[in-house]
Amino acid sequence: MNRSFFYSFTLVTIMLGVMLGFQFRTTSAGNGFASVDKQRELALEKESLVNDLHAMQMEINDLSTKLDQAGTGQKEAEDALRTELAKIKRFAGLSQVSGPGVEFIVQTQPGQAGPPADHAPQNISDQHLLKIVNELCCAGAEAVAVNGQRITAVSEVRLAGSHINVNGDPISPPYHIAAIGEASVLKGRLELKGGLADYLNECGISVEAQEKSEVVIPAFEDELCFEYAEAVPEN
């Protein structure tokens, strides 16, 4: 009986061992499959994250490029506006300018013996200065100043008492009229035979012209105000 029990116990032990071994192999195999699946899942998740990161990097690069382009476009627009503003200020006489030109010194002739009978002797008037300014503008002067007062579209040259006012400021002789442009043309326009210089000379007024390589014309300093005039919208 003891031997039978021993054999039975041995057989059960062997069978239990075989069953445990088989279960261990099954469990190990199952754990292996689970590990492979997990690795695949992690690999796929990593690949997805890498793709997302790449897409985000591409979007960042695209946005950076657009931002740089926008900044460049804004700078170009600002530069264009500054250039246009500077151009408008030059035309309006609101900025100081320089360039080749001529300066005329206008004054009463010293020791005047007396002009011809058809021209009574007279002091320099606002009309004399206006004639010179107009002739210079007709000759292509790009900027004109009288005794440092810039001549603009709203400037006035008029007699006020014993003085001539330019831009509301009184000026006194000798009168210095500076103009920027082709000096020979500006000078020649006034010195034409029978022209303005001859007329002024007959009135006892001397006009001395000096061609210069650089003439500085100051900016118009008064404030421009438009109370009634309004811009008309373009169609």
**Residue 60 pLDDT grade (very low, low, confident, very high; cuts 50, 70, 90):** confident
Type of residue at 70: A
Nearest partner of 143 among 103, 171, 190, 189, judged by Cα: 103
Rg (C-alpha) for the chain, rounded Å, is 49
Query: In the chain, pLDDT over 90 holds for what percent of residues?
Result: 41
74 is written with which tokens? Answer: 């804004």
In our burial notation (b when 16+ CB lie closer than 10 A, e otherwise), range 183-202 reads: beebbebbeeeeebbeebee
Q: Before 218, cis peptide (omega within 30)?
A: no
Helices in the chain by DSSP H: which ranges? 2-92, 126-138, 183-190, 196-202
For residue range 2-40, list pLDDT tens digits in order: 444 444 545 545 555 555 455 545 444 445 445 677 677
Q: Cβ–Cβ contacts within 10 Å for residue 129, how many?
A: 22
pLDDT at residue 21, rounded to an integer: 52
What is the DSSP code string of 92-135? HT-S-EEEEEEEEEEEEPTT-----TTS------HHHHHHHHHH
3-state class (DSSP) for residue 45: helix
In this predicted structure, the answer to whether residue 72 has a pLDDT above a threshold of 90 is: no
Q: Based on the number of CB atoms within 10 Å of its own CB, is 177 exposed (0-12), middle (13-18) or buried (19 or more)? A: buried
For residue range 75-117, list pLDDT tens digits in order: 787 888 888 888 888 888 899 999 999 999 999 987 654 444 4
Q: Cβ–Cβ contacts within 10 Å for residue 90, how many?
A: 15
